[in-house]
Chain A
Amino acid sequence: MTDTSYDMEPFHLQFPFTRSLGSTMSTFFSALAEGQIIGVRIGDRVVAPPMEYDPETGADAGSEWVKVGPKGTVGTWTWVPEPTRLHPVQEPFAFAFITLDGADTPILHAVKASEDQLAAGLRVEAQFKTGDDVNGRIDDIVFVPASDPSPSEGAGEAYTAPAEPEVQMMDAFCDLVYVDNFAPATREWAAALMQGRLFGRRCPKCDRMIIGANPMCSVDGIFLGDGAVVELEGTGVVSNFTVITPTPYPGQKETEPFVRCSIMIDGADAVIGQQEIVGVPASEVRVGMRVAIEWAPEGERNVDDLGNGNHGATAGAVRGWRPTGEPDEPAENYVERMM
């Protein structure tokens, strides 16, 4: 079988997740937006940033807030010579554990300094964003070497939190780039789709037909080599379907109800799932309808949405399946076959 190599396009997984902060982190970020870093007293320690619970025991931490910083002392650090676009500082910097004045536990944060300045014991101070740049987020501050190493004023004093802290939510934008490298069977399936071909593999043990980017019989757990490959017709019958009302979400392009069908392929004991129907409105799709595959024109086909484990997915290479207008198939020929 032809094994065509594809340079897979990187996939950007992006989503604007939102965090509800709960009372402890709301209090912390609201104070930060006002230019004050705080911790919480748990037993005989001040934990900063504050936590909702005693990390030693799990008991509730309470709300005895304490002012800490803005200066602190570096305990240890790691140097980041080549920041990515997702790092908090866009020049070489250090991630450091900094024990803020008035606190007994370190905060992990970024330090803007030259590499040779960094040392255990280095005094640093928080630089706060101002004006419209303030978001009430942890990146509202960055640490720099302290101009005056003397102790922070007010550190260790009690902090009185507002009854309703202003910052209640936090955006957590996810931006993950990855390449789903195709497995050999996926490459074969992709190559077939690009050529306008469908194929299955027949299991010699159970006689089941496996369609798509799957080289295994899922039932018998055996590898199905090139000898098991069977070319499939591009015609069949709709054996099941649903009409999906799309819910909007970031990245969703569908706006109108759309159909997904199971199609039992002619001349083979095989069903291909999750197929689109073209040429008739979603409301007219019915079980028993005879359909023929409609390939995207050569040159317009792609396999960008294909992935390993997508089995019979055809997106990008197939426009959909078009009703042929032939009489409906008798139910006994396809009933009970959604897979």
Chain B
Amino acid sequence: MSSQPVAVVGIGQTHHKSKRRDVSITGLVREAAQRALEDANMDWGDIDAVVLGKAPDLFEGVMKPEMYLADALGANGKPMFRVHTAGSVGGSTGIVGSQLVESGRHKRVLSVAFEKQSEGNAQFALGGGKSGSIGAGGAFAPFIRAYIRRSGAPEDIGWKVAVKDRLNGAKNPYAHLKLADITIEKVKESPMMWDPLHFLESCPSSDGACAVVFTDEEGGKAASKPPAWVLATSMRSEPGWFAGRDAVDPQAAHDCSADIYKQVGITNPREQIDCAELYVPFSWYEPMWLEAHDIAAPGEGWKMTDSGATALDGDFPVNMSGGVLSSNPIGASGLLRFSEAALQVRGLAGDHQVGGAKLALAQAYGANAQFFAMWAVGSSLDPLG
């Protein structure tokens, strides 16, 4: 397959809130897209193709929103793609956009992902419109219980992640939650929502969108601001339920990151990767993904959290942006992870910048912890060289 370098030259996101009552869905996606175009020093006419991602249509009750959003995103007369891979969709939307440039088919591609949760109700939508929806928290809480039992991790690990990500979010001007005064005590005392998960260990419901502009090597080198180079992309999936499935440590998670490491030449992720944005909608998923993506050895992920290694000033910062725990416009959440990784290697992450970040990893997962989308981005095409 012919393959050419891909550069991220524009990133935009909305200010995420529980209710963005000041904009329509159209206005929401355009806000992110316009910021990405400005960042790329481009206009609508410069874009060759548009990719749109979001979670299930029942979240807003708008069927096939890509149809009516096509011209709102400047796609009139251009190719338009809709991507859907549950919670990992934001990541997949970035990957599809990137691959349209990588393949040589298009020169400049805009990927946009969004969710406007305030127009509907996520628990209703996840329950298929019926009573007794267990929601995402109810689906993942048993996996988390199993991880705690398996790893022997102390109970405060989840609380520590909840505090760390919210303190990072307080540094991010776009984050929904800015809880600068959060404490372990507050997390521990917050209501139990999905035993063993407390309210403050859970992501918020947000309205928000994210957009990324991709271009080729020539465009990346000519960009007015530093680009992020897409070093590797990968997606993996597995059935959500089968006898003996290890949903705590899914094979697809290992396979997805192994594919990324192979493409980039990473042999020691903990040492060689400067920082990571992992999809952590519930606090315990930080140590779980550190292990499932082979950044930590089995049973050792929680020790990275415990020691402060994953803090903004640690040796392996995770979720510098505040992560999903600080903003969760579901469909956009994956692209926000991918974007933060790119902002880090561009040196444009502001108060949540990791000094000298050259190689960053981003991940999104979805459905019953069964879909995975990941990428690695670098400040150059050969950050390990």
Contacts and interface: CB of A to CB of B under 8 A. Distances in A.
Contacts of B76: 55-58
Interface string B17-37: 001111111110010000000
Contacts of B195: 241-243
Interface stretch (B93-101, B114-122, B164-172, B262-270): B114-122
Nearest to B34: A60
A219 B248 CA distance: 17
A100 to B, nearest CB: 21
B243 A209 contact: yes
Contacts of A244: 134-135, 137-138, 141, 193-194
B119 A336 contact: no
B64 interface: no
B133 interface: yes
B142 interface: yes
Contact of B24 (A13, A21, A258): A21
Contacts of A15: 61, 120-121, 124, 129
Interface in A1-56: 11, 13-15, 17-25, 52-53, 55-56
A208 B146 CA distance: 21
Contacts of A335: 149
B135 A219 contact: no
A249 B149 CA distance: 33
Interface string A237-252: 0001111111101111
A232 interface: no
Contact of B132 (A169, A252, A287): A252
A327 B117 CA distance: 46
A99 interface: no
B129 A252 contact: no
Contacts of B248: 338
Contacts of B135: 244, 247
Interface in A54-68: 55-59
Contacts of A337: 244
A18 B124 CA distance: 14
B385 interface: no
Contacts of B124: 15, 249-252
Contact of A57 (B27, B74, B131, B138): B74
B44 A52 contact: no
A108 interface: no
Interface stretch (A270-278, A293-301, A318-326): A270-278
Nearest to B143: A338
A218 B242 contact: yes
A55 B193 CA distance: 45
> Which range contains the number of A residues in contact with the other chain?
35 or more
Contacts of A59: 43-44
Contacts of A55: 71, 76
B60 interface: yes
Interface string A201-221: 000000011110000011100
Nearest to B61: A17
A262 B142 contact: yes
Contacts of B239: 218-219
B242 A210 contact: yes
A247 B134 contact: no
A187 interface: no
Interface of B is mostly: loop
A309 to B, nearest CB: 10
A331 to B, nearest CB: 8
Interface in B221-272: 239, 241-248
Nearest to A311: B241
Contacts of A19: 24-25, 119
Contact-residue bracket for chain B: 35 or more
B118 A242 contact: no
A315 B247 CA distance: 24
A339 B44 contact: no
Contact of B131 (A52, A174, A254): A254
Interface string B51-73: 00000000011000000000111
Contacts of B118: 18, 20
A197 interface: no
A260 B127 CA distance: 14
B57 to A, nearest CB: 11
B71 A241 contact: no
A53 B137 CA distance: 38
Contacts of B194: 242-245
A163 interface: no
Contacts of B105: none
Contacts of A311: 241
A339 to B, nearest CB: 4
A202 B143 CA distance: 25
B192 A208 contact: no
A328 interface: no
Interface string A285-310: 00100000000000000000101000
B131 A20 contact: no
Contacts of B23: 20, 22
Contacts of B245: 339
Given A20-B23, A208-B243, A208-B244, A245 B192 contact: yes
A253 B119 contact: no
A211 B241 CA distance: 10
Contact of B243 (A260, A305, A339): A339
A172 interface: yes
Nearest to A57: B44
Contacts of B120: 15, 17
A244 B118 CA distance: 22
B186 interface: no
B26 A22 contact: yes
A12 B105 CA distance: 44
Contacts of A18: 118-119
B191 interface: yes
Nearest to B137: A244
A107 to B, nearest CB: 15
A11 B137 CA distance: 26
Contacts of A235: none
Contacts of A287: 145, 149
Contacts of B27: 22-23, 52
Contacts of B60: 17
4 tightest Cβ-Cβ pairs between the two chains A and B: A58-B74, A22-B24, A58-B44, A242-B141
10 contacts: A19-B24, A52-B26, A52-B30, A56-B76, A57-B45, A57-B76, A240-B142, A251-B130, A252-B131, A338-B143
